[in-house]
Amino acid sequence: MKTIYSLIALWTLVWHFQPCYAVREGTANAKVMIQRYERTGNFAKAALWHEAAADCLKIISTPMTEIQIRYYVRQGKNVLADRSRRELAHIKERREYHLKVARAHWERLGTNGTSPELEAEREKITQFISTWAQIYPNRFHHYGIYPSFFKVEQEIFKKKGDYAAVLNLEADAAEMCADQYNEITVAYFQGIVLDCDAIGGSVGGEAISRHAANHISKVGADCVIRYEKIRDAHRQRAALLREIAEGKPKTPPIEAETVLRDLSHQSISPAPKLTSTQALRIADRDVRLKEHLKAHKGVHGYASFQGFAWFVSYYNHGWGNLGVVLVDDKTGTVLDILDWLTVKESAKR
């Protein structure tokens, strides 16, 4: 039952607020931190998280959407290609918005944003973006274009008995997953490893800490090798599926459903100290949370790792998401409790 609730919660987190929310989920989680600091008047840290939101849009959302556009164009899916182009234009608009607000915050403060406290915040942001650069391709087969497009198209061909077409669609999906690993995850870690001075330039990290980037570069080389192998495995899977399809099978072969499928369940590197269950228990024990949720029934929590902390979101089916508890991954302490409905309204502006 807990598994079912977790799946429902994750689906709610990804799809509840915007049709293309999945493409910008990293940015949406950055907005939680923006709301946290703007609420307390800490506009320097809020500026950094606006820049982090812009980074997610450039490093992750833009290439992710461009990959989809290329595929739709090749397949002659002009309506879907146009929709993705509009989404890409909106992504660019949102990125400019976050950079504009960040600049306004810095100008208001009259500072260049250098201090030990802000450097520590930049390190959190570096961990945050590094985690999201791994998360998106990692769950390709569970959210977004795979279930909403590839699986739908496959069902149409299954009903026609055209299993070669089913296999070729699965091969297309495997190649798209490989492209996401290559253009998001591998590209991100390669940029840090090859030139830490590129932070803010080719890597695109306006808010990324140079100190943290240097630290990540030590493990980044391993990440590059690891994700290149995963990328190549998906490409090999695509080639195998196309080879099977050439035989024009009369039934879907078992290999089409099992070959290398566990690649979509890779863990994040470096791994968090806490488990999702531990983070959820820590959040559940907080007295302030109990007070915040006491008027609601049927509340369930879902914990997601954000690189430096766990965001534990609480929801029910009547109100949707009710609140977010930030749990520090290193210390296991509650950093803050936020009203998610307020964050949602903030995200619309």
Q: How many CA atoms lie within 13 A of 69 on its CB side?
A: 14
Model confidence at 348: pLDDT above 60: no
Give the pLDDT confidence score for residue 335 in this predicted structure.
Answer: 94
Domains of the chain (ranges; CATH) run 42-265 (no CATH), 276-348 (3.10.450)
| Among 134, 221, 229, 234, residue whose Cα is nearest residue 184 | 134
Helix or strand holding residue 208 (H, E): none
Q: What is the DSSP string of 264-288?
A: GGPPPSSPPSS-HHHHHHHHHT-HH
In this structure, the strands spanning 334-338 and 300-305 are unpaired
Q: Which of 333, 327, 222 is nearest to 270 (CA)?
A: 222
| 88, HSE (Cβ side, Cα atoms, 13 Å) | 16
- Residue 45 reports pLDDT greater than 80: yes
Least confident of 113-122, 126-135, 287-296, 334-343: 334-343
| Separation in Å, CA 258 to CA 20, 147, 245, 326 | 29, 17, 15, 37
pLDDT by residue (tens digit) across 167-210?
A: 999 999 999 999 999 999 999 998 877 655 444 443 445 555 56
pLDDT tens-digit map of 238-272: 999 999 999 988 877 655 555 545 555 567 888 89
What are the backbone dihedrals phi and psi of residue 76, each rounded to the nearest 5 degrees, phi first?
75, 20
Backbone CA torsion sign across 5, 6, 11, 13: positive
Residue-level pLDDT at 316: 85
